[in-house]
Amino acid sequence: MAFVVSLAGHRGRSGRVCMSADQNGKDAPILLRAARGELVERPPVWLMRQAGRYMKAFREYSEKYSFRHRSETPEIAIELSLQPWHAFETDGVIMFSDILTPLPAIGIEFDMVRGVGPRISNPVRSFEDMQNVATASSFNPERDLSFVGTTLNALRDETAGQTTLLGFVGCPWTLAAYSMEGKGDKNLMETKKILFNQPEVAHQLLDTLSDVISKYIIYQIEQGAQVVQLFDSWAHHLSPEQYERFSLPYTAKVVTTVKAWLSETERSVPLIFFANGCGGKLELIKRALRGKVDVIQVDWSVNIADARERLGPEFVIQGNVDPLTLLGSESVIRDTVTKCCEGAGRRHILNLGHGVVQGTPESAVDLFCQTARNFKYAEVLERLGKE
């Protein structure tokens, strides 16, 4: 049961030694096994937004190229995706992209404004606006998002068997909210006006996005993604009642479609679901997504032991260290990671409760990952047996 580390291994682009799955005596990388619900020897670790401006190597690209140029140019996206793996030996490599990436393919244009965030030039706020949105049947990710396929294929070749390759998408509600609001906003005033006055417009957009996202996930899997995470980043803007009406049914539609395709094609690709601000919605999520997603990511506002009890044993749990913990001392980081892993118990993937914050020391991210690698379930069980 103990995890034995060998110094022998493959050297990636950075020259760093990278362990293969076979050298660990397993058939698949540890994160993939954990996401499937298998009992593993330690909590696998990766970080949301692990490729970001807190890394000096990343800033060399972000200062030179626009966001969309970086994310839509495979040579750059590949390099940025691999940087955290080379630097910190994360158990997952997540492709460098954005949840808004598929929107231009259906006629909703966006740009990332430096220091401001996403801006959508043609927000969708009426049935007339919906006439300018392409139908899901016309969406062809192989044609419209070929750069994503090129990136994933190259990453799968580069990481083969050594770490888990993650794809990701935004959930229908979050993409719809961006599309209606036209930008990030703390109140979602324009979006809420539509929900309360023209809910049929929102439902039509949500239905279209559900089909688009389903096709996009399937495309990512076909191109090499071994696990896919669904981000409902703006879930916290909805009350539980609104969430049941405007979000969960559409996310459930997506994952049901994907799971049916996985079954038909005899593939095993775990799905991770993350709803920002999920604390008051865990029971709703559990009921709606039971049997449809494999892993539930929780944010740091929820006690992870409590989340484990509320979700029950059927889900793997991911999370949930406060990202700002990484601004603390070494002892604070070690203690927080250890308590998180102990509270979650087995069938846990260590992550932050949200993305890595700009200004986080790279040494802190390295320590976060080291602490997870040093946490052995066998040692914890042995210690508990002696107490």
DSSP string over 129-172 = HHTTSPPGGG--HHHHTHHHHHHHHHHHHHHTTTSEEEEEEE-H
pLDDT reported for residue 382:
78
316-321 vs 348-352, strand pairing mode: parallel
CATH for 10-386 is 3.20.20.210
**In sequence order, what are the residues at sequence separation of 6 or more whose Cβ sits closer than 8 angstroms to the Cβ of residue 361?**
54, 326, 327
Domain boundaries, the chain: 10-386
| Contact of 307 with 282, CB cutoff 8 Å | yes
pLDDT in tens, 37-72: 999 999 999 999 999 999 999 999 999 999 999 999
DSSP 3-state of 211? helix
DSSP single-letter state for residue 266: T
| Contact of 92 with 32, CB cutoff 8 Å | no
Q: Give the residues across from 18 on adjacent strands.
A: 10
Averaged pLDDT, 147-164: 96
DSSP 3-state of 326? helix
DSSP 3-state of 110? strand
Averaged pLDDT, 274-300: 97
Q: With bands split at pLDDT 50, 70 and 90, how would you rate the model's confidence at 386?
A: low
Cα separation, 332 vs 338, whole angstroms: 10
pLDDT in tens, 249-266: 999 999 999 999 999 999
pLDDT over threshold 50, residue 281: yes
Q: With bands split at pLDDT 50, 70 and 90, how would you rate the model's confidence at 384?
A: confident
Closest-CA residue to 68 (of 109, 124, 127): 109
CA distances from 347 to 35, 180, 371 (A): 8, 38, 17
Dihedral (Cα; 252, 258, 261, 267), 10-degree rounding: -130
pLDDT over threshold 70, residue 9: no
**DSSP per-residue letters across 172-185:** HHHHHHHHHHSB--
pLDDT reported for residue 26:
54
Cα separation, 111 vs 225, whole angstroms: 25
| Sign of the four-CA dihedral 272, 273, 276, 277 | negative
First to last CA, the chain: 20
Beta strands in 178-220 (DSSP E): none
227-232 vs 271-275, strand pairing mode: parallel
pLDDT over threshold 60, residue 16: no
DSSP 3-state of 231? strand
pLDDT reported for residue 36:
98
pLDDT, averaged across the chain? 92
pLDDT in tens, 75-124: 999 999 999 999 999 999 999 999 999 999 999 999 998 888 899 999 99
pLDDT in tens, 197-207: 999 999 999 99
User: For residue 136, which amino acid is it?
Assistant: A
pLDDT over threshold 60, residue 192: yes
Closest-CA residue to 23 (of 41, 6, 48, 2): 6
Q: With bands split at pLDDT 50, 70 and 90, how would you rate the model's confidence at 18?
A: very low
110-113 vs 117-120, strand pairing mode: antiparallel
Convert 51-77 to b/e letters by CB count within 10 Å (16 or more is b). bbbbbebbeebeeeeebeebbbbbebb
Task: Dig out the tokens for 262 from the structure.
Answer: 């996985």
Q: pTM here?
A: 0.92
Q: What are phi and psi of 127, to 5 degrees?
A: -65, -30
pLDDT over threshold 80, residue 196: yes
pLDDT over threshold 50, residue 21: no
pLDDT in tens, 27-36: 799 999 999 9
Specify the DSSP element, H or E, that contains 230: strand 227-232
**In sequence order, what are the residues at sequence separation of 6 or more whose Cβ sits closer than 8 angstroms to the Cβ of residue 1?**
41, 377, 378
Q: With bands split at pLDDT 50, 70 and 90, how would you rate the model's confidence at 23?
A: very low
Q: With bands split at pLDDT 50, 70 and 90, how would you rate the model's confidence at 15?
A: very low
